[in-house]
Amino acid sequence: MVQRNQGKILHVASTAAFLLGPLQAVYYATKSFVLSFSQVIAQELSKTNVTSTVLCPGPVATGFVAAGDLEGNALWENAATPESVAQCGYEAMEKGELVKINERQLSFMMNWVVPFMPRKAVLKMSQRSMEKSE
């Protein structure tokens, strides 16, 4: 792509990339890596016509809930469809956006609320989101 001076890269992370992940530490950490990596690649390619976009969706209705034994967790009740998330990511990539969160409220939360919260509160919030509702 760099040799051709043309191309678009779409990485897929998660809103988990913006949080800390009790009960899912490796998942959250790998998503944080993808978020960081994609942005660094974008900067390194900034003098070319190659873009790097990272899609950070919130809950998506996939097999993740069953695989993670998260049935009954309220967080997943209004999960986005895989098709809507894919469309969101594709459109962001086509525009050359740096980071795209598929839902406006989640975007506000991850960009303007979470960074200013005490880390212990973020840890508690993240852990509650991964626990089953009683």
For the segment 55-76, what is each residue's pLDDT rounded down to a tens digit? 999 999 888 777 877 777 777 7
Residue 86 is predicted with a pLDDT of 98
Domain 7-129 is of which CATH architecture? 3-Layer(aba) Sandwich (3.40)
CA distance 116 to 98: 21
If you average pLDDT over residues 101-124, what whole number do you get? Answer: 94
Closest CA to 124 of 23, 33, 49: 23
Q: Which of 7-16, 66-75, 98-107, 114-123 has the lowest average pLDDT?
A: 66-75
**Predicted TM-score (pTM) of this structure:** 0.88
Of all residues in the chain, what percent are helix, strand and coil, respectively (each to 5)? 50, 10, 35
